[in-house]
Amino acid sequence: MDLAWYALLGLFFAGYLVLAGYDYGVGLLLARGVGPAGRRETLTALGPFFLGNEVWLVAAMGILFGAFPLLEGELLAGCYPAVVGALVGVILVTVGVQLRSRPSDERIRARWDRVVMIGSALAALGWGVVLAAMWQGVPLGADGHVAGVTHLATPFAAAAGLAMVTLVAVHGAAFLALRLSAEAAAEAARTARRLVPVALTTVAVATVVGLLSARVRDTVQRPALAVLLPVLLVAALLAARAALTRRRPGLALVATGAALALPVVLVGAALWPYVLVSTTDPDASLAVADAAASTPTLRLLGWVALPLLPALLGFQAMCWWVFRGRTDGRAPVYW
């Protein structure tokens, strides 16, 4: 039962990074100099999906609290600055996108757009650092608490955060290539192709820094899976580039989406059976089974989630289906 809930937690957090990842990527790409009308068109592409994407984070946090209360407390409090950074980013994006078009003054809208850009960068950076913190282990003491927050300040965490920012940027560009009207989409596809080498560079840097870090090497329980991650990331990015060249933006979006889901899936697999590995006291490492809520709680949540999950995914799928296709002059404009 622990494993099923751990997988569900992974599904929702990975789903959040994949879906909100293109929100943040699109947010970053507001900086690409397309003028007021272009920026509004960019946000119209997000349109009906935006609220449904952001809320995957809320669901992931709910599962984290309900099914893994011990992990929730230690992970969030133990990575305090990174989580707060990500959270501030999420709030800025959520508020910025929804409010930017309420004033009609273009200068105020441009200011809101800068808020969205900064928020997008912060959110991607923050979640990148949180994932890096799991990869490099935390100073978990015998009392069960993470000691201090300075453990976050490593070159690996910085490199991973940066890699996350470039990954969401590519992902956002691939989304725009799929969604925007034909002419703007071609421009977005060019941007995406140009961003792929940047993302490859940051992933390579994070890989090298990670391999050189003794903390990362000691933390990882299954080195083969850890090494697989950069290989798969590079493959996904190259596949995205190839798909964009062949004018298949849908495939490209799947590939960049996979690149955002992979770090979550593989950090879970590579650290198994642990979820937080202690860098100071090997006996203090937190195993998934120990982090999970007790059986009656998991069973109760299971009864709730089992019938609900198809409904949750079904309504999201309904949203994707109803609003599929490129945005054209007839698309509702609100953001």
> Would you count residue 35 as binding other proteins (CB under 8 A)?
no
Which range in 16-24, 63-71, 123-131, 251-259 contacts other proteins by CB under 8 A?
63-71
> Would you count residue 237 as binding other proteins (CB under 8 A)?
no
Dist. CA 111–CA 90, nearest whole Å: 17
Compute the C-alpha angle 334/124/64, nearest 5°.
95
Dist. CA 203–CA 163, nearest whole Å: 5
Dist. CA 17–CA 24, nearest whole Å: 9
The answer to whether residues 165 and 121 touch, using CB atoms and an 8 Å cutoff, is: yes
Which range in 179-187, 204-212, 278-286, 306-314 contacts other proteins by CB under 8 A?
306-314
Binds other proteins by CB under 8 A, chosen from 76, 124, 129, 178: 76
> Would you count residue 301 as binding other proteins (CB under 8 A)?
yes
> Would you count residue 26 as binding other proteins (CB under 8 A)?
no
Binds other proteins by CB under 8 A, chosen from 73, 139, 155, 302: 73
Burial class (CB in 10 A: 0-12, 13-18, 19+), 212: exposed
Sites for other proteins among residues 88-117 (CB under 8 A): 88, 90-91, 94-95, 98-99, 101-104
Q: Which is nearer to other proteins, 75 or 252 (CB)?
A: 75
The alpha-helical segments, DSSP class H, found in 220-275 are 223-245, 249-271
The answer to whether residues 89 and 123 touch, using CB atoms and an 8 Å cutoff, is: yes
Binds other proteins by CB under 8 A, chosen from 7, 217, 245, 334: 334
Which range in 21-29, 83-91, 128-136, 159-167 contacts other proteins by CB under 8 A?
83-91
Spell out the SS3 assignment of 101-136. Answer: CCCCCHHHHHHHHHHHHHHHHHHHHHHHHHHHHHHH
> Would you count residue 155 as binding other proteins (CB under 8 A)?
no
- φ, ψ for residue 146 (rounded to 5)? -80, 130
Q: Which residues of this chain interact with other proteins, rule CB under 8 A?
A: 47-52, 54-59, 61-67, 69-70, 72-77, 80-81, 83-84, 87-88, 90-91, 94-95, 98-99, 101-104, 144-145, 148-149, 293-294, 296-297, 300-301, 304-305, 308, 311-312, 315-316, 318-319, 322-323, 329-334
